Amino acid sequence: MPGRHFLHIPGPTNIPDRILNAMRVAMEDHRSAAFPDLALPLFDGLKKLFKTSSGTPFIFPATGTGAWEAVLVNTLSAGDRVLSPRFGQFSHLWIDLARRHGLDVVIQQEAWGTGAAPEHIHDALKADTAHAIKAVMVVQNETATGVTSDIAAVRRAIDTASHPAMLFVDGVSSIGSIDFRMDEWGVDGAITGSQKGLMLPAGLGLCCVSVKALEAQKNARANNPLRRCFFDFDDMLKTNKDGYFPYTPSLPMLYGLREALAVLFEEGLERVFARHHFLAGGVRAAVLDGWGLQLCAQAPKWYSDTVSAVMVPDGFNGGDVIKRAFTRYNLALGAGLSEVAGKLFRIGHLGDLNELMCLGAITGSEMAMRDIGIDVEPGSGAAAAEEFYRKADAQYMAKAAA
């Protein structure tokens, strides 16, 4: 049917026209004297995005997975021990990547629908009197289950245990949408990708590392280093300082990144975070109050402001909702992954969107559910979300203006 496609997966997200237009550029010499005018401000902008004054950002032509790898292989040595809670598909995949590189991963298995448990991290580090654990790896926002972990609490757990382990955080589906404070939370390696809160196509793996992490890189290079070439920080550091890259960068993506950062900073990061919280609240009202269904996130403290994972009733398959929404209503919803495959569908609500766009996703999801036989009252989800948006608007505007 004619009309716009409703993209409501938790990434890639909708790309604003001004960012698309910024990417329509002719190719140019990436080694010209003028190129640093484009590149150098990007590094400053990323420091502002990550909320760091002392961190060093890197821009790789890759994805968040590439940034995962870059942080690990540059700061750790072969056989090093790392600690990681596993509570969803993406925390599982990061652990798998670490193991493939020869790292000794101590896994803390948490229930899917919850997140990182600071008390478990504290206890593991307190017991590690030999300080064999070199890093803690945490996914801030687990899109598979719609769960956000408290990174500030994780930092407090590390500090209370008086442990020197570095803190690495996957912020792929949170940075640019949910509050992230690299310096304040003592994050040593922060990771994101271009296709979510930054509202770009997939294609950039972005990371930022602390002074402590760069010191660890020097030690790792001298002590049984992990193999690296494309993701070597040293190659980047040598060229980035002058506004260049060690290999050919993606020109359209760099111009798009410049515009994406401008979009975020014009709105203001705090307003961006408040908007995502506000919009997520309407989606949650639709699920819980309107449809009477449950979220995969087991308690409000875990609720994600970028994606809601909606549990379908027993006897139904979330994949059927997704297929019907796409084929009949031109609405893309996220699928359940791994342990929650078929048990849920996911509504992404991050990036360039507003209330009416969320209401479109809610209405489409509702019709798809009814079409496959799930007994939700017609209009109930939209009505609950509408009332939330109407009544919470003043509160959102006050928070955004603060």
Contacts (Cβ under 8 Å, ≥6 apart) of 215: none
User: What is the CATH class of 17-265?
Assistant: alpha beta
Backbone φ and ψ of 50, nearest 5° = -75, -10
DSSP state at residue 116: -
The CA distance from 98 to 100, in Å, is 5
Q: Is the Cβ–Cβ distance between 170 and 68 less than 8 Å?
A: yes
350 closest CA partner among 297, 402, 278, 296:
278
| pLDDT tens sequence for the chain (402 residues) | 689 999 999 999 999 999 999 999 999 999 999 999 999 999 999 999 999 999 999 999 999 999 999 999 999 999 999 999 999 999 999 999 999 999 999 999 999 999 999 999 999 999 999 999 999 999 999 999 999 999 999 999 999 999 999 999 999 999 999 999 999 999 999 999 999 999 999 999 999 999 999 999 998 888 889 999 999 999 999 999 999 999 999 999 999 999 999 999 999 999 999 999 999 999 999 999 999 999 999 999 999 999 999 999 999 999 999 999 999 999 999 999 999 999 999 999 999 999 999 999 999 999 999 999 999 999 999 999 999 999 998 777 676 666
The CA distance from 259 to 273, in Å, is 19
Give the start-to-end residue ranges of the domains of the chain.
17-265, 268-401
State the fold for domain 268-401. Answer: Aspartate Aminotransferase, domain 1 (3.90.1150)
